[in-house]
Amino acid sequence: MKIKKLALVRHGESIWNRENRFTGWTDVDLTAEGVEESYRAGDMLREEGLTFDMAFTSYLKRAIKSLDCILDRMNLDWIPVEKSWRLNEKHYGALQGLNKGETADRYGGELVQLWRRSYNTPPEPLTEDDPRNPRFDIRYRDVPPDDLPLSESLKDTINRLMPYWNDTIFPSLSERDNILIVAHGNSLRGIVKHLKNISDDDIAGLNLPTAIPYIFEFDSDLKVVNDYFLGNPEEIEKMMKETASVR
Ligand SMILES: O=C(O)[C@@H](COP(=O)(O)O)OP(=O)(O)O
């Protein structure tokens, strides 16, 4: 039986990850460590003997540049890459740019955790005239304006992600052997929730560390038969705890 593989990788550390700020759709770059850990992710995938026929990423440079680093280390710079705004991070609304720890001090840790990890509750939206409204950003000019968010819950993120998963990413697995998605903490949590049928409550407990490949194996009927992270389980556990906290 031919096993097909999907690798999910959250981008390497971004400048706002380092500064502990809510990022969402803000297009911040990688730190030097973020570049290094993305290269390391490429090494891990190569050493695992994996190769990919196609890759998908978001419209945000922290994911695009991480993907480039991974493909570079795998000598796969040539494979087709498709970008979609639907793989962007959850839109963090008016929280974007704020320090996560300071926001918890101001509003209380519980409310901040609700904004970060609840399934249904979006943060306060940006105002329509906020210069950060994605309608003012040329990269989204082909997206129907009503589809562009001013804030999102995980549920909203999944709702805009699933059409792309169902119409493009998942069908590509029928034609290809292995595919790679480099995206974001919350957009990838949406994909994992779907693939593992995780409940709305339990998905709050999944915290994906930066640049750690998460592999899903599919049988010939494209049913998930196995999933595992690459790397040292104890270190990954520690990184997940760090991702979960607001510091
Ligand atoms: O938008 C952000 O701040 C982080 C996730 O933050 P949390 O939901 O973990 O607070 O997204 P990413 O760095 O994966 O693009």
Assembly ipTM: 0.96
Residues 107 and 77 sit within 8 Å (Cβ to Cβ): no
Mutate to test the pocket of ligand 1, among 17, 28, 206 (most ligand atoms within 8 A of CB): 17
Between CA 140 and CA 147 the distance in angstroms is: 10
Per-residue model confidence (pLDDT) at position 221: 95
CA 221 / ligand 1 centre spacing (Å): 33
Residue nearest to atom 15 of ligand 1 (CA): 184
Q: How far is CA 93 from CA 99, 133, 212, in A?
A: 14, 9, 27
CA 22 / ligand 1 centre spacing (Å): 6
**Residue located via tokens 């690459």:** 230
CA 23 / ligand 1 centre spacing (Å): 6
Question: Is 89 among the catalytic positions?
Answer: yes
Between CA 47 and CA 19 the distance in angstroms is: 32
Atom of ligand 1 nearest to the CA of 116: 8
CA 233 / ligand 1 centre spacing (Å): 22
Q: Please tell me the CATH code under which domain 4-89+153-244 is placed.
A: 3.40.50.1240
Q: Out of 11, 13, 37, 184, which one is annotated catalytic? A: 11
Residues 71 and 41 sit within 8 Å (Cβ to Cβ): no
Between CA 149 and CA 160 the distance in angstroms is: 10
Residue ranges in the chain modelled with pLDDT below 50: none
Per-residue model confidence (pLDDT) at position 118: 97
Identity (one letter) of the amino acid at 147?
D
Residue nearest to atom 7 of ligand 1 (CA): 116
Q: Could you give the residue ranges of the DSSP H alpha helices within 80-184?
A: 100-107, 109-117, 154-164, 170-175
How close are the terminal C-alpha atoms of the chain, in Å? 46
Ligand 1 pocket residues where CB is under 6 Å: 10, 14, 17, 22-24, 89, 92, 116, 184-186, 243
Q: Which residues pair with residue 229 across a beta bridge?
A: 214
Residue nearest to atom 8 of ligand 1 (CA): 116
What is the b/e burial string over 60-74, where b = at least 16 CB atoms within 10 angstroms of the residue's CB? bbbbbbbbbbbbebb
